Amino acid sequence: MPWPETRKQETRRKILKSAVTLFAQRGFNRVSLGDVMKDAKLTHGAFYAHFESKQELYKEAVYAATEDSPLAEILRRSEGALSVDKIVSTYLSHDHVEQKFSPCPLAAFATDTSNQNGETKDAYTEVFKGMIDIFESKTDGSITDRQSALSLAALLIGGVVVSRALNDKETIDELLAACISKAPQLLK
């Protein structure tokens, strides 16, 4: 008797969840398929029922990470237009920098994606454009043009990426505070 389709979907979700976590923490080259499957508590052989390669898994992890990203959480909890202040403070929080919740793929995979294939770069680009679309269409009206949306996205992503690379809490605090305080100036 074959497994129900829901089990196959659940297995795929488990693999992707583990992949997002591990790729975000360690990067593409420092994560093996065995690591992903062990974290997902599945056998290595089960991987190939869902993905053809580690590269395909990484690409799909870029998409999957959007489901539980900070911006997705804000969207789920909001009623009406999104507050840009809420987006900025959540995205540039210590919890996001320290990956205490599911990371945004744009920050988590930024340094790895430049070394990936075209399909992965396409996925990253699509997710980035999705962020810009959200900023332009679902925020509280404080983002009035595309340049503001692009600038804000770069500030948010860059602030998190650089903060994760630093090992001095004081400098991290200073950087995050500077990004938070300067974000409103990008929207004028």
Average pLDDT of span 89-110: 92
Residues 6+ apart with CB under 8 A from 71: 87, 91, 104, 131, 134
Burial 75-111 (b: 16+ CB within 10 A, else e): eeeeeeebebeebbebbbbeebbeeeebbbbbbbbbe
Give Cβ neighbours of residue 19 (< 8 Å, ≥ 6 apart): 31, 36, 57, 58, 60, 61, 64
Mean pLDDT of 176-180: 98
Which of the pair, 160 or 114, is modelled with greater confidence?
160
Give me the percent of the chain exceeding a pLDDT of 90.
Answer: 71
The yes-or-no verdict on residue 4 having pLDDT over 80 is no
At what angle are helices 54-65 and 118-137 packed, to 10 degrees?
Answer: 0
The whole-model pTM stands at: 0.90
